[in-house]
Amino acid sequence: MNRYFFYLVFVNMVANVVASVPKILISHRTEGAIVSMIISFFLGLVFCYLCTRFFNLFPGKGLPDLTKKYLPRWLSFTMIFVTSFTWYIAGLITLVTFSFLLKRFLTPDMPLTWITATFLAFLSYGILMKSKSVLFTIETVLLFCLPFIFVITLKAYTAPELKLDFIKESLMYINHYPSFPAVAASIYLLLGGFNLVIFNRLFKREQRINWKNMLFIGFIGGGTFVTTFFIPIGMLGFDAVEHVVYPWITTSDTLRLEFFIVERVLYIFLLLYLAISFLSVLIHWHVTLELLKSILWFKKMTLYKHNLTPYLFIVLFWLGGLKSVTNLTEYQLIQFSSYFLNYLLCSFAVMFGLFWMIKRRAKV
Amino acid sequence: MSLIKNNKGNIRKTLDWLSEEIKPSFDLVYKPLHIDDKHAELLYIKTVVDGAQLQQLVIKPFFELGNDRHVEAYLNSLPNLQDIEAKEQILLELTKGSVIVAIRNQLLLLDLKRVKSDSVLETMIEPTIQGPQLSLSEDIATNINLIRQRYHKPSLKVETMDIGEKTHLTLAILYDEEVVLNEVLDSIKNKLKSIKPQTVQSTMELNRLLNDKKRSLMPIMMMTERTDRVVYNLAGGKVILLLDGSHTTVLAPAVFFDFMSSMDDKYGSYWITKFLKLLRYFGLFACLILPGLYVAATSYNPEVFRVELALSVAGSRIGVPYPSFIEVLFLLVFMELLTEASIRLPKAVTGTATTVGGLILGQAATEAALASNIMIIIVGAVAISTFVIPINEMSFAIRVVRFILLAFSSFAGLAGLLFGLIGLLMYLAQLDSFGEPYFKIYLQSKRTETERTST
Amino acid sequence: MKISVHRLGRPFTATVLALSLMIQSGCGFKDIDKRIFVLSVGIDHTDNEEKPYKIILKLAVPSGSLKQSGTEYTYLTKESESIASAIRLLKTQVDKEIDFGHAKVIVLGKEILHHDLTEVLDIFVRRRDIQRISWVAVGKPNAESVLKAEPSSEMAGSHALFNLFDQNGVESSYIVTTFLFDLRRRMLETGIDPILPVLSASKDKKKIIVNSSILLAKNKDPLKLNPKETKIYNLLANNVQRTDLTVKRDDLQYTVSIDTAKTSFKIITNPKQKPVIKMDISMEGIIEESNQGMNINALKTFSKQASEEANKDITALLSKLQENEVDPLGFGVRYKATRLHSKDTDKEWLRLYPNMSFDVNVKVSIMSTGIIE
């Protein structure tokens, strides 16, 4: 597979922290989080594989191109609209969560709206770019971030304060039945491949995902699962982790780099996640914009020969972003994230139905 | 040629028309040669023609050879002979330094240019330790000669065209037919045809003329005076543009990383060049973010760095009247002025300017508590890091970007700085140089990366 | 002339962006010389029922020439009914913004330990600007005297309290370091109890001694550990690699300097037998001091003697912990971590711990007698 495909997958894995995944998992730690994680790990890999195989059948075609060709108009319209809405919400959750984080930790004196507006301003520029440029941006930022992610992870695993007993204690809850919200939350990590709905347009060469690729994704994904769930428990304590609002942010504050320019890992972590959540929203909203553009294009809305439709969508994105940032509380946000992740898992069943239909009609 | 051939009246008319067109100039020479039954007429502009060569190649043989037919055959065999296409072309060539010979009802156009600027210059803009020390000359023929001398391959193509509505300078397009990316070549040719500038004086002007975006920060073509770089890029499949009268060439397409490479990277041993490259990118990074980082760290997030650092910054800022971003801006602007001054000043005075500016101003500014000690260190570090960028145009662009990043971090601290960096990255990523993406990471071999332009 | 919006679009967005940022500036912008940094926070108990808390802040006053004059400190104190309100009131006493970003040491007065600690520490775990990696300690006789002590070895720009706990500075087997996050998890978790180092300031405020510690079991009175016990605790908790061991046999007395030490323990509950905590400690070191010549052939005997000596001390400490029903080593957590969870795991442990027996197995290997025999 093309290397850019892996970036799409990895961004979701790393960005799970700002999508409330650890919080949801940890709140289910006595209610079968581990079994849920194992289930969603395999389920997620299967999803990822199926989705990629499907798109491999149609090199250079995005989902809207396929629905338009093979499905009736009304169905195509509804499906693409719903999909784009899903992607929008996915981006929105990351955006709002990270705005809250910035407000709480990095720029506490700045008004929340301004933080979000800054975020949105740069995002608007980004999502209007060509898909290709989006991929280049993702690659560069991700490659810059990787060393830091690596160092922080290493630091977390080697910290003397990491108490293995707490982690083992959480393992002792393996005899509980899995819970649906925990499965839904953790599967988010492996859903990055679905961004192919748009980005497959760029993958024009014929290629097939093979078992080596899947092994690679599985390996990294498994590592992320373990890290995202167990490190906060090991650092913050099995019972004490319960009341922490942002488990990973607090965990990063328990790490200390004695011999680095910045002593508190928290700040490296925040800046790192600023970049990563930016990428995450960039990907999701770029997909949203492209999906919307494929179904709604107002030919008459032009100004000096320039079509304004994308800008109209951007305005809507801004409104949605600012509205939700000002109206949501942290707890509502986590609640809604959980609902959304539940919905996401269900919606993929529908998505696969769609894939199946297209595949049957295309006869490939 | 057939246009003017075999018609005595026609030749007469053409010669008259030509001298009429050039007339008021004092340096137009019309010279009939006549001996026995041999007869010829010369028409040329004295100041651009090499007189000695004219004497040697045309006049002397005329008197020595037996008859008209011999002279004509001789002249036709000369390598300097040019094709004649139209009257206007003759006129243009005359102004460039050709000589018209009318003999036996035929007009012959001989290129006998005298070029005063064909001495090869030393490398000034991109000095290297290893590698050739001479660059190019200001004469296009010499330059093509220099390049061909270093690139012996039949697939090296040189196409020429005229550019400039008024100046009609010769522009040569060089490329290696085997490796060049054809889309890029076509796009460059089309753009060159479509632009109609009045005058073009330097190859760098082409950079601006060929860019689709009129307001652009980053150079999308690379200027170089080094023949080794030209050859290296030719072999890499790039297109080289040479302009007569300019001792630099431009290469296209150029990507961001080209501007960060020095030719020494080719010559040094592996680890040394890797280290130097690392150093250079560190320099780039440092000069981009240091000013912004200072503002963010002193005014927004002093808790990020160590407590000792915070206290010493706070200590050194005692008495500084302005907020940190004004302090940084003040010193940065003065540093820019210093850089600018040392470029424009005569070489002899440059040293004084830097001493006065750098040492005295910096020292006095801290003494007078206009700036903190740490700020002076930062500005110094930034200045040095800027000079590490090997290609000038990029270093100019980076100087501008620095101010933008400073603005972002003065408005939103560390978050602003990081957003600014990502914004810069996105700006670079959406640029393209003649269809080639301007900024993308090259992980695989260059060929696979460029061929796979679809992804 | 027609100007395409596309052309105008980017400069326009850029301008709007810049302007929008301009308006918001001034909200978060505060220069470093307008802030004053808190280096350590002290909390004491007052006898006043209305205002039970007394807050002491140690602030660093930056000076222009750091090398010559060094950092000067200033102190702020306030009594109030809550810590937050005290801090609010303290803000009115200085001309600068109080910044807690560098507060790395929290000292709790000895008296306040009888108070509910969760309540006292709540503000520190809740506030975003307090580092989770700040060190918590107990101050003797009270927090104020510890904060106000300025040891003569304290150099310019470096805070003595930081160096005490930061393992880059002093390395001592007598110092227990407890980070704020560690204290929090020990307080909330069942099966592990908090331990805090005790800082005692001398009367002339020129010295701070930190060699003992205090155990705070849930719902129990604080239990003090003397320096020797603190040292053994550090050994058992794998906090230190370097420690020392003094052995006395008849006339012979020698000290072993340990440079690698490792402790591991297991909880064995067999239905038929008495539950047992099996503890293995292995140490390696060399003889550092002795009052007689050491025979190099007798190293094995010395090792054995040292092991027995250590065994005695360790068992004594473990029994003391057990008697007082405190568990700083996390036996309870280990118990929970090795048994599949059921409803009564916690209760089972509480029932088991007082009846546990200890099987301590110390293995000291003395590798050398130093550079003389």
Write out the E strands in C143-251: 195-201, 208-215, 223-225, 243-249
Task: Give the phi and the psi of residue C129 in degrees, each rounded to 5.
Answer: -90, -5
**pLDDT classification of C2: cutoffs 50, 70, 90:** very low
Nearest CA in chain A to C130: A253
C4/A306 touch (CB, cutoff 8 Å), yes or no: yes
Any idea how long chain B is? 455
* Domain with C208 in it: 31-225
Do C238 and C194 belong to one domain? Answer: no
Nearest to A13 by CA among A203, A246, A187, A211: A187
- Per residue in B333-384, pLDDT tens? 888 888 888 888 887 777 777 777 777 777 888 788 788 888 888 888 898 8
pLDDT at B423 over 90: yes
Residue type, C156: A
Do C266 and C343 belong to one domain? Answer: yes
Which pLDDT score, from 0 to 100, does residue B452 have? 46
Q: Are the CB atoms for B203 and B164 separated by under 8 Å?
A: no
Which of the pair, C329 or C2, is modelled with greater confidence? C329
Do C144 and C289 belong to one domain? Answer: no
**Alpha carbons within 13 A on the beta-carbon side of C65:** 4
Query: For residue B296, what are the CA distances in angstroms to A109, B151, B325, C1, C129?
Result: 14, 51, 9, 43, 17
Local structure of C153: helix, strand or coil:
coil
Query: For residue C36, what are the CA distances in angstroms to A278, B310, C62?
Result: 33, 10, 8
Query: In this complex, is the C-beta atom of A195 within 8 Å of any C-beta atom belonging to chain C?
Result: no
In a domain, C138, yes or no: yes
In a domain, C19, yes or no: no
Nearest to B113 by CA among B92, B91, B96, B90: B96
B317/C25 touch (CB, cutoff 8 Å), yes or no: no
In a domain, C335, yes or no: yes
* Domain with A53 in it: 3-362
**Alpha carbons within 13 A on the beta-carbon side of C35:** 26
A161/C336 touch (CB, cutoff 8 Å), yes or no: no
- Per residue in C50-71, pLDDT tens? 888 889 998 888 776 655 666 6
Long-range own/partner contacts, residues B35-41 (CB < 8 A, 24 or more apart): B35/B62, B35/B63, B37/B67, B37/B68, B38/B62, B38/B67, B38/B68, B38/B71, B39/B68, B39/B103, B40/B71, B40/B101, B40/B102, B40/B103, B41/B15, B41/B101, B41/B102, B41/B103
Query: Structural domain tally of chain C?
Result: 2
Compute the CA torsion angle A348, A353, A354, A360 (nearest 10 deg): 150
Do C75 and C140 belong to one domain? Answer: yes
* CATH number, domain with residue A258: 1.20.1730.10
Mean pLDDT, to the nearest integer, of A25-31?
Answer: 88
Nearest CA in chain B to A203: B455
Nearest CA in chain A to B426: A137
Asked if omega into B253 is within 30° of 0 (cis), the reply is yes
Which of the pair, C157 or C2, is modelled with greater confidence? C157
Distance from C-alpha of A11 to C-alpha of B321, rounded to nearest angstrom:
45
Query: In this complex, is the C-beta atom of A304 within 8 Å of any C-beta atom belonging to chain C?
Result: yes
Of C225, C251, C281, the position where a domain reaches its end is C225
Chains with 3 or more CB pairs closer than 8 angstroms to A?
B, C
Distance from C-alpha of B12 to C-alpha of B39, rounded to nearest angstrom:
14
A250/C132 touch (CB, cutoff 8 Å), yes or no: yes
Task: Indicate the residue of C21, C37, C63 with minimum beta-carbon distance to B310.
Answer: C37
**pLDDT classification of B455: cutoffs 50, 70, 90:** very low
Of C225, C251, C274, the position where a domain reaches its end is C225
pLDDT at B283 over 90: yes
Q: Are the CB atoms for B414 and B300 separated by under 8 Å?
A: yes
Task: Indicate the residue of B303, B412, B437 with minimum beta-carbon distance to A118.
Answer: B412
- The mean predicted confidence, pLDDT, of chain B is 83
Mean pLDDT, to the nearest integer, of B32-53?
Answer: 84
Which pLDDT score, from 0 to 100, does residue A86 have? 92
**pLDDT classification of B446: cutoffs 50, 70, 90:** low
- Per residue in B184-203, pLDDT tens? 888 888 888 888 888 888 88
Q: To the nearest whole angstrom, how far is the Cα of A124 from the nearest Cα of chain C?
A: 10
Distance from C-alpha of B317 to C-alpha of B145, rounded to nearest angstrom:
60
Do C200 and C239 belong to one domain? Answer: no
ipTM of model? 0.92
Q: Are the CB atoms for C247 and C291 separated by under 8 Å?
A: no
- Per residue in B230-250, pLDDT tens? 888 888 888 999 888 888 888
Which pLDDT score, from 0 to 100, does residue B427 have? 92
Do C91 and C176 belong to one domain? Answer: yes
Nearest to B203 by CA among B192, B214, B213, B194: B192
Q: Locate B454 and state its tokens.
A: 């679809």
Local structure of B218: helix, strand or coil:
coil
Nearest CA in chain B to C6: B213
Do C74 and C199 belong to one domain? Answer: yes
Which pLDDT score, from 0 to 100, does residue B421 have? 93
Mean pLDDT, to the nearest integer, of B122-131?
Answer: 81
pLDDT at A98 over 50: yes
Query: In this complex, is the C-beta atom of B310 within 8 Å of any C-beta atom belonging to chain C?
Result: yes
A271/B423 touch (CB, cutoff 8 Å), yes or no: no
Contacting residues for C253 by C-beta, under 8 A, at least 6 apart? C246, C247, C290, C291
Query: For residue B427, what are the CA distances in angstroms to A129, A146, B421, B438?
Result: 9, 22, 10, 10
Do C252 and C103 belong to one domain? Answer: no
> Where along chain B do its domains lie?
8-111, 140-254, 268-437
C24/A111 touch (CB, cutoff 8 Å), yes or no: yes
Task: Give the phi and the psi of residue B31 in degrees, each rounded to 5.
Answer: -135, 110
Contacting residues for A154 by C-beta, under 8 A, at least 6 apart? none
pLDDT at C5 over 80: no
Distance from C-alpha of B276 to C-alpha of B152, rounded to nearest angstrom:
31
How many angstroms from the chain centroid is the CA of residue C54? Answer: 22
Distance from C-alpha of B384 to C-alpha of C125, rounded to nearest angstrom:
44
Distance from C-alpha of C344 to C-alpha of C341, rounded to nearest angstrom:
8
**pLDDT classification of B4: cutoffs 50, 70, 90:** very low
Distance from C-alpha of C364 to C-alpha of B251, rounded to nearest angstrom:
73
Distance from C-alpha of A139 to C-alpha of A156, rounded to nearest angstrom:
25
Nearest to A245 by CA among A3, A8, A20: A20
Measured at the CA of C96, the angle between CA C90 and CA C101, to 5 degrees, comes to 80
**pLDDT classification of B306: cutoffs 50, 70, 90:** confident
Write out the E strands in B126-195: 156-163, 169-176
Query: In this complex, is the C-beta atom of B443 within 8 Å of any C-beta atom belonging to chain A?
Result: yes
Residue type, B266: K
pLDDT at A199 over 60: yes
Query: In this complex, is the C-beta atom of A4 within 8 Å of any C-beta atom belonging to chain C?
Result: no
Task: Indicate the residue of A2, A133, A267 with minimum beta-carbon distance to B429.
Answer: A133
Distance from C-alpha of C162 to C-alpha of C105, rounded to nearest angstrom:
7
C-facing residues of A in 326-355 (CB < 8 A) are none
Do C266 and C351 belong to one domain? Answer: yes
- The mean predicted confidence, pLDDT, of chain A is 88
Q: Locate A58 and state its tokens.
A: 């149609």
Query: In this complex, is the C-beta atom of A315 within 8 Å of any C-beta atom belonging to chain C?
Result: no
Contacts of B308 in chain C (CB under 8 A): 157-158
Do C294 and C350 belong to one domain? Answer: yes
State which H helix or E strand residue A38 sits in: helix A33-56
Query: In this complex, is the C-beta atom of B419 within 8 Å of any C-beta atom belonging to chain A?
Result: yes
Query: Structural domain tally of chain A?
Result: 1
Do C103 and C231 belong to one domain? Answer: no
Place of tokens 């969508």: A313
Do C250 and C178 belong to one domain? Answer: no
Q: Are the CB atoms for C314 and C362 separated by under 8 Å?
A: yes
Mean pLDDT, to the nearest integer, of A75-100?
Answer: 91
Q: Are the CB atoms for C19 and C45 separated by under 8 Å?
A: no
If DSSP states are collapsed to H, E and C, what string results for C338-362? HCCCCCCHHHHHHHHHHHCEEEEEE
- Per residue in A107-152, pLDDT tens? 888 888 888 988 898 999 999 998 889 999 999 999 999 999 998 9
* CATH number, domain with residue C372: 3.30.300.210
